[in-house]
């Protein structure tokens, strides 16, 4: 089973704040998964995002 990261865990992993995380999800650069009312991020999605940032030099 794939690991799901909470919002707080994702913020720590990416070293970004809550507002930056919401902005990334809002514009579609990072896709979250809802479980009930909570938002989680799949490990594969975090890896995809980090690879895209590393490969393309995007600024978060």
Residue 53: pLDDT band with limits 50, 70, 90:
confident
What is the mean pLDDT of the segment spanning 25-53?
A: 95
Domain that holds residue 52: 4-56
What is the mean pLDDT of the segment spanning 34-57?
A: 92
- What's the confidence (pLDDT) of residue 41? 98
**Number of domains observed in the structure of the chain:** 1
Residue 1: pLDDT band with limits 50, 70, 90:
confident
35 has pLDDT over 80: yes
| 22, 25, 53, 56 from 33: Cα distances, Å | 13, 10, 20, 24
């Amino acid at each position: 089973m794939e690991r799901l990261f909470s919002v707080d865990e994702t913020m720590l992993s990416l070293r970004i704040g809550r507002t930056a995380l919401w902005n990334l999800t809002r514009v579609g650069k990072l896709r979250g998964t809802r479980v009930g009312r909570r938002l989680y991020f799949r490990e594969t999605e975090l890896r995809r995002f980090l690879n895209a940032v590393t490969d393309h030099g995007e600024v978060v």
